[in-house]
Structure 1
């Protein structure tokens, strides 16, 4: 049941009772509130979100400005859609505006009280961020797992080569998902979660991760009207409990197996692995970070896998889609790989810095199809004045990254796929300093896995286009390719891209 249907079903029950509740929860006019569309009684502006909120909110902001207010049921919300105000929110007032609005789905299995994504900015959150930065995503730690990731890329190329020989189309999103899932698992704990020959296992993992992404990302009427939380009218909390539970159970098995391995002392103990899980368990045994239990590790692994596998595979699928629809840009990227890397050498992570056009392709994809179009919602912990308007305490804050990537005053030809724009503007990167372009966020809530995502995105796209020429399936014209988006925790293609690897290049790994 979608949110619109659910709202209609409960609307009659709420008309009288909620009028009082909504009035008591509305922000008090302690100052001038940001402009916005008139909120309807009880439901506010919920129906104006539509099925693609990033686009609907961008359209509304053209009328009401880059700092716009909405009433989503009982949740007072402001939407930010300019780099100047984004800088105010994520940098100048970051200490006050770094709270989180936590939906019912994220609260299952007590996830919100353990997850780095939802914890308030405090001592526990800082410790986990520090662990991620120093022990998981530092360059030395990532370099240590480079050979494992290279092995996963070879498996991808072997699979696509097999499809090429058999004349079989490749589901780009699924192939990227399997590879990114195994890249993550190889980096985190030196094992594979699935393989190209394990269709049932792959399907199970994809369904579970999609389930988590869907339940967290879909608008939930129980979040708009907390009085309905206990009734779960859309069944979202029930679904979330199932999918989160399945993932946590799997990660619990992983942690238990590693702990068992670490405790074997004779006669031939297995060699200690040099991966992130080992580093986390070492920290958990230390006195300073003893708070970091196996339970914390499970929830951290859940966060990392959801953020890493789904968003990475979606971004790779968009990249191959846009390159197929723009053959001259595909040709330029392939020629750069042939020239710089060579025809008889597999592209490696160390090559990324020498491939400016490939870098431009990835930057452009993250502008054109940002994985998190509205980022994870922030929440104000106190009243703040921005641009002459008051943002009251407990306001939900949405940063419309997608809208800023499509504004003509910031980008030339914003609705066209033009990697070349980043060759002319080399100072722009996605590390949170250029507020017109923050696909990974900015400030203290910036995505901690950015260093790993940076490597994975470049090397995945490079491996696919270096080793193979690609064509659309027979009978499919470029104008027939469906580029419809499906909104959720990540913005992915509604219709999967299937493409034919029609000819091997002269490269043979």
Structure 2
């Protein structure tokens, strides 16, 4: 009997969904893999691979019938996808590698040259997003935003709106007061921490980026903030996880056992119900503040989208469902990734006291005792910018970027990439490739960027933390502005110490997969006020 569709309408239901999937993850995977092999053998008519043998596919590890390359991931040391794929590509000398995950063909680009082929030479053919089976139902309802829109009129329109109206340089500058206000709140909270008690830096920074993003998007903090964030995180975890229904979409037996599509639909319903509340709160707040709003206050992002929605006249109508999907994209893409980058930057600086000392000396010499860091102070912080670049090189928040779909048969680096293939760019592997970064590619050394020849604007394919080409992240300026200001504030106002007399080399840097690749263990540090903030 097919599992009943579950709609999450309360925190308790949402917690039940959260608890049901990760429990005993490895055991469930092994059992489900065995079931999937049997199911595919019995119910999948084309399991032998059709005419795949007639193509010259990119090299990769040997494949088994039905399960393809899945068995290789069971015996690799790392369970994190970006590390496992980098390991396989290195073992097989395959900068462009082909994998078969169940029924799904997957090509992974793990070098600068391969990334250039995918994101520049053949950009148009790889500019769409795959709609995996577990996500297809909400997508087909028309509830798709900029992130998952397929290449076409809707995506072009949303991209144009994002660049011109939502995330352009002028709009980002208009939110300066929000960023500076949230940075001051962070510094004040850290300064008020109990003396001698370590603080969870990642948690504090995540709260800042969440509140800053919400204020930029909605003009205020969302009343149901925690509920909303839990739903966003659970949705990201479901999408990023290994779902058997997505690997064997034609198997009826696998569909009977897989609940992922139902869980995704439940989270979708939950987040859209919360977005309805957010829109109502926004409209009520704007109505109440109408008499006090000045021209200087400007429009928040939701207000811009509602204005465009009401004005109409677009090639593809901007429906309320699309508005809500875009808002969800901004929250999930702008908050977690930014907080993750700041936490990794602080982690690397704590592990590298020389770099920490140099970064703090620069910030303090430029500000010379100022009451607080403002964005006017950031222009001359050269070394801080190098620290951020080096952090993004070693710790891209989305190490495999976002998946692309090949929309037509293509020849890439002399190999055939069939239509319908999912394509990943392993930005993590590319950022650590010795051919681009020499033998010290795994070392945190900000000075490697001093010559200014390499940046993350999508033209240097050895460094692509935000992607490149048509599908490059449109929120780079928005994210970078927060990272710079917050990191400068943390370094200017505080000295930092590791707890328990821990040596810098002992700081655990283990990764954990979620919506982004973050630290597995929280970063606890002692903040020591060096320059008191004056308000």
TM-score by length of 1: 0.91
1:1-50 alpha-carbon deviations (Å, 9 max, x no partner) = 457335334135325325633235x5635542111111112111113235
Structure 1 residue 150: Cα displacement: 0.9
Q: 1:70 to 1:207 in 2, by over 3 A?
A: same
Distance 2:233 2:174 in 1: 30
- Is the aligned partner of 1:416 residue 2:419? no
Specify the SS of the correspondent of 2:434.
coil
Asked whether 1:307 is paired with 2:336, we answer no
Residue in structure 2 matched with residue 142 of structure 1 by the alignment: 172
Secondary structure of the 2:379 match is helix
1:60-71 matches, within 5 Å, as: 60-62=88-90, 63-71=92-100
CA apart distance, 1:220? 1.4
Secondary structure of the structure 2 residue equivalent to 1:335: helix
- The answer (yes or no) to whether the contact 1:169–1:501 under 8 Å persists in 2 is yes
TM-fit CA distance, 1:302: 0.6
Structure 1 counterpart of 2:470: 444
Q: Distance in 2 between matches of 1:264 and 1:107?
A: 39
Using the alignment, how far apart are the partners of 1:21 and 1:157 within structure 2?
A: 60
Match of 1:402 among 428, 445, 460: 428
| Equivalent position of 1:274 in the other structure | 299
* CA offsets 1:321-378 (integer angstroms, 9 cap, x no match): 1111111111111111111223224222333331111111110111001111111111
Match of 1:192 among 212, 221, 224: 221
2:123 counterpart SS class: coil
Contact 1:168–1:500 (Cα < 8 Å) also in 2: yes
Aligned to 1:36: 60
User: Once the 2 structures are TM-superposed, how far is the Cα of residue 234 of structure 1 from its aligned partner?
Assistant: 5.4
Cα drift, residue 193 of structure 1? 3.7
Q: TM-score, normalised by structure 2?
A: 0.87
Q: Which of 450, 459, 475 lines up with 2:485 in the alignment? A: 459
Q: Look up the SS of the partner of 2:446 in the other structure.
A: coil
Question: Residues 184 and 403 from structure 1, CA distance in 2 versus in 1: closer, same or farther, beyond 3 angstroms?
Answer: same
Superposed, 1:353-432 pairs within 5 Å as 353-412=379-438, 413-423=440-450, 425-432=451-458
1:414-463 CA-to-partner distances (Å, cap 9, x unmatched) read 1111111111x312111111001000011000111111011111112111
In 2, the alpha carbon distance for the partners of 1:292 and 1:107 equals 20
Task: Give the alignment partner of residue 161 of structure 2, picking from 98, 110, 131.
Answer: 131
> Larger deviation: 282-291 or 145-154?
282-291
How many residue pairs get aligned? The number is 498
Within a 5 Å distance, the mapping from 1:310-325 to structure 2 comes to: 310-325=336-351
Which segment is superposed worse, 464-473 or 107-116?
A: 107-116
Q: Residue 208 of structure 1: CA displacement?
A: 2.7
SS across alignment from 2:335: helix
* Equivalent pair of 2:183/2:489 in contact (CA under 8 Å): yes
Q: Which secondary structure does the structure 2 equivalent of 1:250 belong to?
A: helix
Distance of 1:168 and 1:408 partners within structure 2 = 41
Partners of 2:129 and 2:151 within 8 A in 1: no
**CA 1:263–1:329 in 2, change beyond 3 Å: closer, same or farther?**
closer
The CA distance in 1 between the partners of 2:260 and 2:368, in whole Å, is 50
1:210 paired with 2:233, answer yes
The range that moved more, 307-316 or 471-480, is 471-480
How far apart, CA to CA, are the structure 1 residues paired with 2:324 and 2:225?
20
Residue 256 of structure 1 aligns to a residue whose secondary structure is helix
CA separation of 1:280/1:232 partners in 2, compared to 1, >3 Å: closer, same or farther?
farther
**Cα separation, partners in 2 of 1:104 and 1:162, compared to 1, 3 Å:** farther
Q: Does 1:106 pair with 2:135?
A: yes
- How far apart are 1:475 and its partner, in Å? 4.2
Give secondary structure in 2 for the equivalent of 1:410: helix
Is residue 55 from structure 1 mapped to residue 83 from structure 2 by the alignment? yes
Contact 1:142–1:187 under 8 Å retained in 2: no
Q: Does 1:291 align with 2:291?
A: no
- State how far apart, in whole Å, the 1-side matches of 2:66 and 2:362 are: 57
Separation in structure 2 between the aligned mates of residue 459 and residue 446 of structure 1, nearest angstrom: 23
Gaps of 5+ in 1: 195-200
**Cα gap change, 1:187/1:41 in structure 2, threshold over 3 Å: closer, same or farther?**
same
Structure 2 runs not aligned, ≥5 long: 1-24
Cα gap change, 1:260 to 1:179, in 2 (>3 Å): closer
